[in-house]
C-alpha cells in the first residue's frame, strides 16, 4: 500500500524550481508472519534501494484480509515542496472490531524513524489534512477539520498538539481545497510559500471561500458563494481563479482572487444552455484566463465544445473564442515554454468524439497560444497523455496513430513533443526501434521528475492481459516496458 514520497528539490536564487525528483518512498506491507509494517526506500542512494522498516509499528493481519481492513485510511505529506527527511504519514488504524469503531487510533510515522522508534499516537480523528509551507519548503502548519467540533484547526507540526482555531463559528461540515500554493512543485514555478484557499461548507449549506497564508494563524473570509465553488482552481502566480456554479448547473459566475488578499473581481456571468455544461477553468497566462465548455447541438445529441478566453482583472460581457468549435468533448491543460513563466504558457487541446457506433471513436489534438495563434495544427488520431507534461524537460507526451476502436490504443506511437519548438520525437526502445502501444492497452504516465517518468499500460478489458509498467527517460527519448511475471523477483 503506497503511503507517501519525499522530494529532493533544487531552487535557484529566485526560488524557481530547477530540479526535483522523488528521493524517498514509503509503503505498507506484510512480513513473513503476516504482520503489517511501514517500510521506506531511499531512491537517492548510489546503491540498489533496499526496503528499510520505519518505526516499530507491527499490526497482525488476518490471513486473506486486505490491508485496508487494518490501515483504514492515511494521509501522506506527498506532492509538496519538501525534503525526504520531513516526510511523514498519518495512519488511521482500526480498532478491535474494525474501522471506525471503538479503539480506532491515529498514529504518525516519519521517514527518519528507525525500526526501534514507536509511532507517535496523536489526538485527532481524521486524515483530511492540508499542509502549509514556507518559501524555504519548511513545514509551517497542518490544517484539518475536526468532525466532532465542526472547527477548522491549525497545528504547528505533525505532533498535532496545542492547535489554534483558524475558522471560528463551528458548524463546518466539510472543507475542500480551491487552491494550494504548495502544488507549484509540479509546475516549475517560483515557490514563495503556501497560500491555502479553502471551500468551507457550513450546516446552513452555504459555501465560503477562506484564505490562509502560511504566516497566518487565522483564515480570512474572501467570498460567499451563491452555489458551489470550483475546487483545484488554476493560478498564474498572482491570482487564483474559481467558478461559482448554481444548483443544477444552470448559472455560473467566474471570479479572480489575488493570492496576497484583496478585492474579489467578477470576470464573467454565464447562463448555461439547456443540455449544456458549465465552463471549466483551464489556466491563465497572467493576461487571459482560458476556459472550456460545451452544449448539445440543436437537440441532436451531438456534443459541440469550445475553448474561450476572458481578460483578467475586469468584468466581460462576452467570451472570446479560442481556436475552432469542436465536435465532441474537449479537454485542455496549459504549460510554459519557459518553466516558471506563465506568460509563455501554451494551451494543449485534446478532442474526443464518439460516433453513433459505440465501438468507434476518434481523437484529435492541437496546440494554441492563449491569444489564438496556432502553434501546432490539429492532428487526427492524436492526443496528449493526461498529466504527461514534464516542464523541467520541456516536453509533453503525445500519442499518434491511434486505432479508432475500443480495443485500446494498439499501434500508437508515443512522442515527446518539445513545448518550445513543437518538434515531436518518437520514443524508442533500448533496441532503437520506435515504441508502439500493445493492442488492448492504454498508457498512463505519472511520477515525473526532471526527465524520468514512470507509469503503466492498463488493459481496457478482460482478455488483454495484466497491467505492465513503463519507464521513460526523456533525455534519451527512451522508453522501457517492464513486465513482472511473478512475485519472486529481484531488484535490478
CA–CA separation, 67 and 27 (whole Å) = 11
What pLDDT was estimated at residue 490?
Answer: 47
CA distances from 186 to 267, 446, 447 (A): 27, 11, 10
Cα 355–Cα 357–Cα 362 angle in degrees, nearest 5: 40
Q: What are phi and psi of 57, to 5 degrees?
A: -55, 130
Region of 358 please: left (phi>0), alpha (psi -120 to 50) or beta.
alpha
CA distances from 383 to 57, 388, 407 (A): 45, 11, 16
Nearest to 309, CA basis, from 248, 257, 370, 223: 370
What is the span of the domain harbouring residue 47?
A: 1-122
3-class DSSP state for residue 73?
strand
Q: Describe the strand order of the beta sheet including 382-390 as a list of residue ranges.
A: 382-390, 395-400, 413-418, 424-426
Q: Indicate whether 190 belongs to any domain.
A: no
Beta bridge partners of 396: 389, 417
Sign, Cα dihedral of 76, 387, 7, 489: positive
CA–CA separation, 236 and 214 (whole Å) = 19
Q: Model pTM greater than 0.85?
A: yes
CA–CA separation, 349 and 328 (whole Å) = 12
132 close to 105: Cβ distance less than 8 angstroms: no
Q: Indicate whether 47 belongs to any domain.
A: yes
Q: Indicate whether 420 belongs to any domain.
A: no
Beta bridge partners of 51: none
Q: Which three cell numbers stand for residue 418?
A: 518539445
434 DSSP assignment = B
What pLDDT was estimated at residue 492?
Answer: 38
Q: Indicate whether 68 belongs to any domain.
A: yes
Region of 32 please: left (phi>0), alpha (psi -120 to 50) or beta.
alpha
What pLDDT was estimated at residue 339?
Answer: 81
Q: What are phi and psi of 349, to 5 degrees?
A: -115, 130
Q: Count H helices, E strands: the chain?
A: 0, 36
484 close to 465: Cβ distance less than 8 angstroms: no
Q: Which three cell numbers stand for residue 167?
A: 475558522
Q: Which residues contact 2 (CB under 8 A, 6 or more apart)?
A: 25, 26, 27
| Number of domains making up the chain | 1
Question: How far is C-alpha 56 from the geometric centre of its chain's CA atoms?
Answer: 32
CA–CA separation, 29 and 360 (whole Å) = 42
Q: Indicate whether 108 belongs to any domain.
A: yes
What pLDDT was estimated at residue 196?
Answer: 95
pLDDT in tens, the chain (492 residues): 999 888 878 888 877 888 777 788 899 999 999 999 999 998 887 888 899 999 999 999 998 899 999 999 999 986 667 777 888 999 999 998 899 998 999 999 999 999 999 999 999 999 999 999 888 888 899 999 998 889 999 999 999 999 999 998 778 999 999 999 887 766 777 888 899 999 999 999 999 999 999 999 999 999 999 999 999 999 999 999 999 999 999 999 999 999 999 999 999 999 988 878 899 999 999 999 999 987 665 555 667 889 999 999 999 999 999 998 888 889 999 999 988 889 999 999 999 887 666 666 788 999 999 999 999 999 999 999 876 777 777 889 899 988 655 567 778 999 999 999 999 999 999 999 999 988 888 887 655 565 677 778 888 776 666 778 888 888 889 998 887 665 554 443
Q: Indicate whether 393 belongs to any domain.
A: no
What pLDDT was estimated at residue 18?
Answer: 80
Q: Indicate whether 42 belongs to any domain.
A: yes
Q: Indicate whether 296 belongs to any domain.
A: no
Amino acid at each position: 500500500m503506497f503511503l507517501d514520497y519525499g522530494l529532493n528539490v533544487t531552487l535557484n536564487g529566485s526560488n524557481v524550481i530547477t530540479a526535483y525528483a522523488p528521493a524517498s518512498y514509503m509503503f505498507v506491507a506484510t512480513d513473513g508472519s503476516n504482520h503489517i509494517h511501514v517500510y521506506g526506500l531511499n531512491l537517492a542512494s548510489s546503491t540498489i534501494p533496499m526496503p528499510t522498516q520505519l518505526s516499530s509499528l507491527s499490526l497482525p493481519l488476518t490471513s486473506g484480509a486486505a490491508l485496508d481492513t487494518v490501515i483504514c485510511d492515511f494521509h501522506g505529506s506527498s506532492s509538496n515542496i519538501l525534503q525526504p527527511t520531513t516526510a511523514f504519514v498519518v495512519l488511521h488504524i482500526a480498532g478491535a472490531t474494525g474501522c471506525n469503531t471503538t479503539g480506532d487510533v491515529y498514529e504518525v510515522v516519519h521517514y527518519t524513524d528507525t525500526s526501534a522508534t514507536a509511532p507517535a499516537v496523536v489526538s485527532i480523528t481524521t486524515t483530511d489534512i492540508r499542509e502549509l509551507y514556507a518559501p524555504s519548503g519548511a513545514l509551517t502548519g497542518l490544517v484539518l477539520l475536526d468532525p466532532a467540533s465542526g472547527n477548522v484547526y491549525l497545528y504547528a507540526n505533525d505532533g498535532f498538539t496545542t492547535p489554534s482555531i483558524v475558522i471560528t463559528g463551528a458548524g463546518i461540515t466539510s472543507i475542500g481545497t480551491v487552491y494550494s500554493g504548495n502544488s507549484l512543485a509540479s509546475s516549475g514555478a517560483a515557490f514563495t510559500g503556501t497560500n491555502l484557499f479553502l471551500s468551507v461548507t457550513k450546516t446552513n449549506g452555504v459555501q465560503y471561500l477562506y484564505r490562509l497564508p502560511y504566516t497566518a494563524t487565522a483564515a480570512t473570509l474572501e467570498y460567499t458563494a451563491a452555489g458551489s465553488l470550483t475546487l483545484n482552481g488554476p493560478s498564474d502566480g498572482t491570482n487564483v481563479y474559481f467558478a461559482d456554479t448554481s444548483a443544477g448547473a444552470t448559472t455560473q459566475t467566474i471570479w479572480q482572487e489575488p493570492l496576497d488578499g484583496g478585492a474579489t473581481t467578477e470576470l464573467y456571468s454565464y447562463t448555461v444552455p439547456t443540455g449544456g455544461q458549465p465552463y471549466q477553468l483551464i489556466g491563465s497566462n497572467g493576461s487571459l484566463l482560458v476556459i472550456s465548455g460545451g452544449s448539445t447541438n440543436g437537440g441532436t445529441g451531438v456534443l459541440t465544445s469550445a475553448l474561450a478566453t476572458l481578460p483578467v482583472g475586469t468584468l466581460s460581457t462576452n467570451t472570446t473564442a479560442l481556436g475552432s468549435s469542436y465536435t465532441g468533448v474537449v479537454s485542455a491543460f496549459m504549460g510554459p515554454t519557459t518553466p516558471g513563466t506563465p506568460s509563455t504558457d501554451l494551451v494543449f487541446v485534446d478532442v474526443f468524439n464518439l460516433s453513433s457506433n459505440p465501438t468507434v471513436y476518434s481523437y484529435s489534438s492541437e496546440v494554441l497560444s492563449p491569444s489564438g495563434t496556432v502553434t501546432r495544427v490539429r492532428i487526427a488520431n492524436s492526443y496528449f497523455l493526461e498529466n504527461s507534461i514534464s516542464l523541467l524537460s520541456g516536453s509533453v507526451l503525445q500519442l499518434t496513430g491511434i486505432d479508432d476502436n475500443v480495443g485500446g490504443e494498439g499501434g500508437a506511437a508515443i512522442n515527446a513533443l518539445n513545448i518550445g519548438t513543437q518538434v515531436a520525437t518518437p520514443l524508442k526502445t533500448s533496441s532503437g526501434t520506435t515504441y508502439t502501444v500493445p493492442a488492448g492497452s492504454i498508457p498512463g504516465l505519472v511520477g515525473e521528475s526532471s526527465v524520468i517518468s514512470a507509469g503503466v499500460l492498463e488493459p481496457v478489458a478482460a482478455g488483454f492481459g495484466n497491467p505492465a509498467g513503463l519507464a521513460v527517460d526523456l533525455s534519451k527519448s527512451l522508453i522501457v516496458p517492464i513486465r513482472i511475471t511473478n512475485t519472486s523477483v529481484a531488484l535490478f
